[in-house]
Amino acid sequence: MLAGISHDLRTPLTRLKLGLSMIEHEDIPDLLRDVDAMSRMVDGFLDFARSEAEDRVEPTALGPLVAEVVETFRRQGHDVEHPAPDDPEGPLLDLRPLAIRRALENLLANACTYGRHVRVTLSFGEKAVRITVEDDGPGIPPERREEAIRPFVRLDDARNQDRAGVGLGLAIVADIARVHGGALRLGESGMGGLRADIVLAR
């Protein structure tokens, strides 16, 4: 349903944008920015809905998956530390690999935006598996962590304004964790910034 609605919203939004661009008025640039923001939200929803639909549960080795995602961020020039887990492959877990990849990408995108040094750790406990992403940025104060996870919430507009995000990243991570019977936990990293854990039951 979400995918359908998002898709249907695209055409009128494009028309609205076109119409606005032909009008001369001092308020037009602001309105165009609003329409742009709406388009980005719709694209975000569509993206998400699509990847969900294609993704099947399959036995997945988290070790290589995490290492691969870390590598793509390194190639983009980010400083991402990734200590090798005790067991490099880890057990095969029944997961939706695309969704988990996306969740990790979202956390890494945030960490690389707000911090300079980032660390990704994978640990296999007896009952749970934990993917941890930490950075040395400003972090999120405890009383705002719940709020930050809500869809379309972007904290601190001042430092955020010039960035293209729509505030869906953490909401999507939390959703993916939940679908796997797990949770997203936000805390404080020893590195000084945010610590985000995706905890999955095994």
Interacting residue ranges for ligand ATP, rule: CB under 6 A: 106, 110-111, 114, 135, 137-140, 148, 153-156, 160, 165-171, 193-194
Instruction: By CB under 5 A, name the one of 90, 137, 139, 169 that touches Mg ion.
Output: 169
CA 184 remoteness from chain centre: 11
The answer to the question of residue 73 lying near Mg ion (CB under 5 A) is no
Shortest CB 23 distance to ligand ATP, Å: 29
Cα separations in angstroms, 66 against 24, 100, 173, 194: 50, 9, 15, 19
Residue from 60, 110, 132, 189 touching Mg ion (CB under 5 A): that is 110
Least separation in angstroms between CB 172 and Mg ion: 9
Instruction: Name the closest residue to Mg ion (Cβ).
Output: 169
Three-class secondary structure of residue 200 per DSSP: strand
* Alpha-carbon span 146 to 150, nearest angstrom: 7
For residues 64 and 154, give the distance between their C-alpha atoms in angstroms, rounded to a whole number.
31
Q: Considering the complex, state which of residue 63 and residue 79 has its C-beta at the smaller distance from ligand ATP.
A: 79
* Euclidean distance between CA atoms 69 and 101, whole angstroms: 7
At 165, the amino acid letter reads G
Does the footprint of Mg ion cover residue 137 (CB under 5 A)? no
Determine contact, residues 133/107, Cβ cutoff 8 Å: yes
Q: How far is the CB of 189 from ligand ATP (least distance, A)?
A: 9
Task: Please state, in angstroms and rounded to a whole number, the distance separating the CA atoms of residues 137 and 159.
Answer: 12
Residue length of the chain:
202
Residue 139 binds which entry of Mg ion, ligand ATP, none, with Cβ cut-offs from 5 to 8 Å by kind? ligand ATP
* Min separation Cβ 36 and Mg ion, Å: 17
Tokens 């598996």 locate to 129
Task: State the nearest-atom distance from the C-beta of 119 to ligand ATP, in Å.
Answer: 12
Measured from the CB atom, the residue of 58 and 156 that comes closer to ligand ATP is 156
CA–CA dist 44, 66 (Å, integer): 23
173 forms part of the interface with Mg ion (CB under 5 A): no
Report if residue 6 touches Mg ion, rule: CB under 5 A. no
Which residues lie near Mg ion (CB under 5 A)? 110, 169
